[in-house]
Amino acid sequence: MTVPSHLRYTAEHEWVDLAGGVATVGITAYAAEALGDVVYVELPEAGSAIRAGAVCGEIESTKSVSDLFAPVDGEITEVNEAVVADPGVLNGDPYAGGWLFRVRVTGSPELLGADAYTALIRGA
């Protein structure tokens, strides 16, 4: 299973790519595989505030509905409308085309590196 080394991760299986105070957020390949076929995505609106650890959306698959947790504090700057229109992108391309939203970061808890996240999912 792919765990890109340049990203940071949460224990709730979100990935974060921090660049210049803006974070791009998505779900990991592990999460996408565990969910099964994703059929619906609800994301926070651009301009809304999120707080790390709080629910900020949901992902529905043929197996279940899962909460999406904010990995950082900040303001949503952009939402990936392509994923909203075609949620299956998350299953096929979770680290590129399947990004969920971008957020201007105002605070960030400690995030996991690739090695720590790999250890987490291997223990799951």
End-to-end CA separation in angstroms for the chain: 13
**Widest CA span in the chain:** 37
Q: Which DSSP state fits 12?
A: T
- Structure tokens, 36: 């099964």
**Residue 105 binned pLDDT confidence (cut-offs 50, 70, 90):** very high
Band of pLDDT at residue 124, cut at 50, 70 and 90: low
What mean pLDDT comes out for the span 9-28? 96
Does the pLDDT at position 1 exceed 80? no
Q: Which residues pair with 67 in a beta bridge?
A: 58
List of domains in the chain: 8-107 (2.40.50.100)
Query: How confident is the model over 80-84, as a mean pLDDT?
Result: 97
Q: To the nearest whole number, what is the mean pLDDT of the chain? A: 96
Bridge partners of 28? none
